[in-house]
Amino acid sequence: MGIIQNIEDQIRSELAPAALEIINESHLHAGHQESFDGTGETHLRIKIVAEAFEGLSRLERHRRINALVAGEMEKGLHAIAIEAKAPSELS
């Protein structure tokens, strides 16, 4: 199982999101380091809407997500961009 699937499973289990999208943006970072060609699952964007974020600050939301993906950082995940919203914030 890959990093993206592991993260998706963890987030769905812990936060029961109403919406979740995990986008692999690794290819956008090719060449940023001489040894990186943009392959793999190293740079991800996580877009999530979850009731669990209601009343939490942006920092608290990011901390919750970071805690869930900490194990994947040890397996090769380098960076995540997080877009976390509560259902009440949708337009």
Render pLDDT for 38-68 as a digit per residue (tens, 0 to 9).
556 777 999 999 999 999 999 999 999 999 9
Mean pLDDT of the chain: 87
Domains parsed from the chain with CATH numbers:
3-89 (3.30.300.90)
Q: Is 76 helix (H, G, I), strand (E, B) or coil?
A: coil
DSSP 84: E
Tokens (6 digits) for 86: 């509560």
Pick 59 or 26 by higher pLDDT. 59
What pLDDT score was predicted for residue 73? 85
Percentage helix, strand, coil for the chain under 3-state DSSP, each rounded to 5: 45, 20, 35
Q: 79: pLDDT confidence band, cut at 50, 70 and 90?
A: confident
Pairing, β 43-49 against β 19-24: antiparallel
Average pLDDT over residues 8-35: 82
* Cβ atoms of 4 and 72 closer than 8 Å: no
| pLDDT above 80 (res 77) | yes
| pLDDT above 80 (res 36) | no
